[in-house]
Each structure stands twice: as structure tokens, then as C-alpha cells.
Structure 1
Amino acid sequence: MVLDFIEMIKVIFLGIVEGITEWLPISSTGHMLLVDEFIKLNMSQEFKEIFFVVIQLGAILAVVLVFWNKMFPFQFKDKTKSMIRKDIFSLWFKVAFACVPSAVIGLLFDDFLEAHLQTPIIIAAMLILYGLLFIFIENWNKRRTPTTQTIANISYKTAFAIGLFQVLSLIPGTSRSGATIVGALLIGVSRIAAAEFTFYLAVPTMVGASALKLLKFGFAFSSAELIALLLGMVVAFVVSILVIKFLMTYIKKHDFKVFGWYRIVLGVIVLLYFSIMI
């Protein structure tokens, strides 16, 4: 079985959606599930579930590329000399510490969450709820000065607190980046530090989620399925690079309220659409 042209166009479109929504705090999983209501891949439900998760690896590779100099703890001056960045090692330990809550809850309740929470109504409700939170928190932050200005200043306590907020992203429509950014802003982390820590946190989180899906599904892909996965990852990778650079430039001068309003409008549209359809 070979992936036909129409299915290839669908995969490319889904890769674009993933690349845009993975890093903007508007819920990539929520968008992917909603898009699938209108642009359905002609593949099994089991494969689509793994596709929506595994193509996120393309987005992760984009983060690694963009932040390589900040993420990689080994720096080589020449062929004989190298330097270890202890500050980067320390940061990765904090990231690992922050991953613990979502890893535990995800392993325990993954099947339940898939079976009961991936519904349009829940997705819409989470889009609206976190949209309102973004607007409220940004208005509240106008009267506050962040206590943690840079990612290097994030403590283990703050990292773990952000990790607790990431657990909320297991509910479709919440947004992993949305939950962690909202949490970070609430506890006094600056916008830029919150966004950067979210990027770091995404690497082990999404690699782990993809590995879990692959272990459940197995590795017996058809040629069409394999092409779909690789194509989706490549498209998500390219788009993610552009979106990450845009977001880091945008938040230097703007707040997150525009994403809050977007979430509210989209959530209302989804509720109205599915109310009419039901």
C-alpha cells in the first residue's frame, strides 16, 4: 500500500497544524483532533492516534536545532579541548525533575484519558477556560514584577511547580505549552523564561509520550503509514522552526492575551458547531 496524493496532502496539512500549534499556547492535540473531524486520514483509528503523537518528534527536533547552543552541555573549542557547561547540566536536572508528575500520571491514566476525554466538548471547554486564564493572568501581571527573570534562575521548586501544571495538559484542548506557561506566569516567572523552559520541558515529555505510543502500537507499519509518519514529522519540523523564532520575538514586546482571545473564539465555534451537528 502506497500513500496516495490526497492522503499526502492531508498529512502535509496536519504537519503544518502540528508545527504551528505545538509551540503556540493554543493546544496542538486539540487542533489535531478537531481537524481530523473534517480532514480524515484514510487509515485505522489506532494509527491515527499514534500519528498525532509521533509527528511531534519533528517539532522536538526543531527545538533542539534552534536552542542547540543553550541545550547542549558540551562545547568543543577544537579537536583536543572541550568544555562542560555545568549550568546546562543543572538546568536539565531541573527539567527531569519537572517531568516526574506528568510521567507518573500519564503512565497510570493514559488509557482512561484516551477513552473518556478526547471529545469535542471537553476540547472546547479547555480552549475557553485557558483562554480566560491567559487574559486574567496577563492583566494581573501588569501590577507584578516577575521574581524569576531568566531560565537560569528557575529553582528546583519552581521547576517542579511548573511540572505539576504540565499534568493539566493531559486533558485534550489544554495545551502542554499553555498549561506550563500559565503555571509559570502564575508563580512569577517572566514570559521569556516561561516560554524557554516550556521548550526544554517538551523534549523529554514528548519523546516519552511518543515512545509510549510506539510501544503500545508496535513497529509493524505499512509503507503508507511509515511515509505518513516521516512526512508529517518533516513538515512539523520545518514549520516549528519558523513558529519558535516568531514566538520568541513576539513575546519580547507583547503578552499572551492574543492567544487567550483566539482560544475563546475557537472554543465557542467548536461548541456551536458540534451542538448543531449533534
Structure 2
Amino acid sequence: MDIFLALKAIIMGLVEGFTEFLPISSTGHLILAASLLNFTGEKVKVFEIAIQAGAMLSVIWEFRVRIGAVFAGITSDPKQQKFVVNLIVAFLPAAFLGLLFSKMIKQYLFAPVPVAMAFIVGGLIILWVENRNRNRPEKPRVDSVDDMTLLDAFKVGCAQAFALIPGTSRSGATIIGGMLFGLSRKASTEFSFFLAIPTLLGATVYSVYKERALLSIADLPLFGLGGLSAFISAFLCVRWLLRYISTHDFTIFAWYRIVFGIVILATAHYEWVKWID
């Protein structure tokens, strides 16, 4: 494998892992990173989705005890059965809409300027939600993922569907959406992590299968490097985020999104950076 191609794969994996579970949009950052690295094309779009599986595996490792309990009690424990049903219900809205509109989204929205717009809008929404929580400090209705109802799960799933728009952020949509619907910050964040497992796995399998004609055995080392670097960086990010949310809100991420979005729009408008769609 070409050394420069390998370095690009590793960088893309690091970008994926460090941004997947933060409310700043991993897909948006991957599109921008690919443009800057001149790492583009239909196969790269499949690569960007496939390496999400590496990030997903970090969640499985971090929550392996809880996931083991789910598998052990899925046929006999009502609490674990309810948890699995909630995940399925939350997974379905994005899966259904993704199947319907994935081709259109890739054609029109997988580009730096639409991503920048989504960064800014998403940042403003996060600022509004955090300001609302400060001005109306009500006790969350749901303190734990085990207390969620089917309706709570469906609402979070509908929020996740907005993340089909690149730059929106899957984790941002589910966490902020969950908080709006009455979940605590901790419950929203943990459910977002768990929901990532079927969502990212489903997206990876679907994308690789659909575009299998583009791929060959020779692509495995490249995908493997990207997936491994995504796993390592995502693992570090998940550990950090779980500590961070215990004493902080998401305001800093909102301002990051807004400033970064404005920078992208400015560089595109004045042609300081030649962004490649």
C-alpha cells in the first residue's frame, strides 16, 4: 500500500473516532478532511461510512458488561428486553429514512458548504437548548436509560434521523433531542452511545454491500487501518466524554460548530481553500 494513502486512511480514522461521539458531526468532519487531503471519490464515501464500525466497536468494549447482561437476560429479564426493544424502536426512523433518501443526500449534501451550514444551525440549536436548561432548571423526567419508555425511544430515534443531513451530528441530535424530551444529560449520552451500535453497524453493512462492486480484497488494508485508528481514538473520546458531562454542558461544542462553520464558508467564498466536493 502507498505510504501516503495509508497516512490518509489513518488520519481519516482519527477524525472519525474523535468526532463520532461528540456533538460536532463526524460525517461533516470526514467530508472536510477528505476534501483537504484530496481523498475523494465514490470508494472514499464507502470508506468514510465503513470506518464507523471501528468507532462502534469502542462502545461495545467500553460497555461490555452492560451488553453482556443484555445478551444474558434477553430471554428472561424484562429490564433487558425493554432495553433492546427501545433500541430497535429508536433505530428504525433513521434506518427507514436513510434507505429512502441516502442517494439524494450523498448527491446534494456531501459537500463542504452544506456541511458548514449544518454546523452553524446545529450549534445555534445546542446554544438554545443549553440556555433553556439554565433558565428552567427542572429535574429531568428520566434519569437512567432503563427508565425510558417506548415513546421516549421513538422520539430520540426521530431526532437521530436529522443526522442524515451531513454536519448535523448523530450524537448531537440524539443527546440534545433526548434532553429536550426530558432525559437527563447522562441518560441521553449513554443512550446515544448504545444507539450507535445498531446504527453504525447497519450503515456500514448496508453501504459496503450496496457498493460492493467498487471494492476488492486489495482495499482491506486501507479499510483496516482506518477502522483501527477510529477504534483507538473513539475509545479515548468515549472515556473522556463520560467524565466531561458530569460537570460540563455542551456550550463549548456549540461555539466550536458555529465558528468552524463560518470559517469554512469564508474560505469557500473567498477561495482561500479549494474545497473539493
Fold shared per TM-score above 0.5? yes
User: Contact 2:159–2:177 at 8 Å: present in 1 too?
Assistant: yes
C-alpha contact 2:43 2:214 (8 A) present in aligned 1: no
Structure 1, residues 34-74: CA drift from partner, whole Å, max 9, x if none? Answer: 01111123xx7121010000000000110000011112224
Decide whether the 8 Å contact of 1:19 with 1:59 is kept in 2: yes
Q: What is the SS of the residue equivalent to 2:270?
A: helix
Q: Distance in 2 between matches of 1:221 and 1:100?
A: 28
Question: Is contact 1:134–1:257 with CA below 8 Å preserved after alignment?
Answer: yes
Are positions 1:27 and 2:25 aligned together?
Answer: yes
Structure 2: which 5+ runs fail to align? none
* Number of equivalent positions: 269
Aligned partner (choices 231, 252, 267) of residue 246 of structure 2: 252
> Which of 96, 101, 113 is residue 93 of structure 2 equivalent to?
101
For residues 178-217 of structure 1, the aligned pairs below 5 Å read 178-217=172-211
| Candidates 44, 65, 70, aligned match of 2:61 | 65
1-structure distance, mates of 2:217, 2:71: 38
Q: Residues 75 and 223 from structure 1, CA distance in 2 versus in 1: closer, same or farther, beyond 3 angstroms?
A: closer
Q: Which runs of 4+ in 1 moved over 4 A?
A: none
2:46 aligned partner: 50
After TM superposition, give the deviation of residue 120 of structure 1 in Å.
Answer: 1.7
2:207 paired with 1:229: no
| 1:232-253 Cα distance to aligned partner (Å, 9 max, x none) | 1011111111100100000001
8 A contact 1:74–1:85 mirrored in 2: no
> Are 1:71 and 1:88, in contact at CA under 8 Å, matched by a contact in 2?
no
Greater shift, 12-21 or 64-73, is seen at 64-73
Q: Secondary structure, in 3 states, of the residue corresponding to 1:25?
A: coil
In structure 2, C-alpha distance between the alignment counterparts of 1:71 and 1:269, rounded to whole Å: 41
1:125-204 superposed matches below 5 A: 125-142=117-134, 143=136, 144-204=138-198
Percent identity over paired residues: 37
Distance in 2 (CA, whole Å) between partners of 1:152 and 1:85 is 12
CA shift at 1:84, angstroms? Answer: 5.2
Other-structure match for 2:9: 11
Where do 1:106-117 residues align within 5 Å? 106-117=98-109
- What are the superposed Cα offsets for residues 96-126 of structure 1, whole Å, 9 maximum, x if unpaired? 0111111111111111111111122211111
Question: Residues of 1 paired with 2:182 and 2:269: CA distance?
Answer: 39
Residue type at the aligned position of 1:148: V
| Distance in structure 2 (CA, Å) of the matches to 1:9 and 1:154 | 43
- Contact kept in structure 2, 1:70 and 1:88, CA below 8 Å: no
In 2, Cα distance between the equivalents of 1:164 and 1:223? 37
